[in-house]
Amino acid sequence: MPNAFRHSISEMLPSPQAVQARLSVLSNRDRLGVAEYFSANLPDVDVLIATPGAESLGHDLGALRGVPSVKAASLAGHWTLVGSALHHKGDIQPMRGPVHAAVISVELVGGQPELAAALLAAQHGWEVAGVAAAVARTDAVGHVRLALQDLPVITPVQLAGTPRGLVFERRIPPAALAQTA
């Protein structure tokens, strides 16, 4: 499943614009493959928080996991969580202790939407188990922003920027080593 998605992304390399364009219109096959990857690799959570552009991915993962999803949205310059699960008492059921959430993203670059979603979750008293990104750019500041908040990143595809464009990451970032242990 991740191999088909990885191949789909490899066809767009080395252009960052082409990768971003492909991610904005993921095929059902790619989206479901990524959702299955996340379902197998994310810890148990009670709710999913989709960042802008990741709503379909969050919905698919929620259907696989049997948990509700909400979305983080920027309205008039302020981030907020929206979704019917927030308004229907009992939709978000913690399995143990506090509500555990995961942030879902299509592409982790700067990390602002992912960090905003994690902060909104904390305002609701939810614990964020990690950020699931279909593609993570290891040369961008998003990894650092999330690492400073002790938020692990789970991703099937890591890309690095080079003078010739994007390539598959060849180095293993410390966060990836911690997840494989």
Q: What is the pLDDT of residue 174?
A: 53
Q: 95-117 pLDDT, tens per residue?
A: 888 999 999 999 999 999 999 99
Q: 40-94 pLDDT, tens per residue?
A: 999 999 999 999 999 999 999 999 999 999 999 999 989 999 999 998 878 898 8
Predicted structure pTM score: 0.92
Which residues, at least 6 apart from 3, have a Cβ–Cβ distance to it below 8 Å?
none
Residues in the chain: 181
Q: What is the mean pLDDT of the chain?
A: 92
Q: What is the pLDDT of residue 119?
A: 97
Q: What is the pLDDT of residue 1?
A: 56
The answer to whether residues 38 and 179 touch, using CB atoms and an 8 Å cutoff, is: no
Q: What is the pLDDT of residue 176?
A: 53
Measured between alpha carbons, how far is 8 from 110 in angstroms, rounded to an integer?
23
Measured between alpha carbons, how far is 147 from 143 in angstroms, rounded to an integer?
6
Q: Is 180 a residue whose pLDDT tops 70?
A: no
Structural domains of the chain ordered from first start: 2-180 (3.40.50.2020)
Q: Is 13 a residue whose pLDDT tops 70?
A: yes
Q: Is 177 a residue whose pLDDT tops 60?
A: no
Our measurement of the distance from residue 16's CA atom to the centroid of its chain's CA atoms, rounded to an integer in Å, reads 18
Measured between alpha carbons, how far is 37 from 51 in angstroms, rounded to an integer?
18
Question: Cis peptide before 14, with omega less than 30 degrees from 0?
Answer: yes
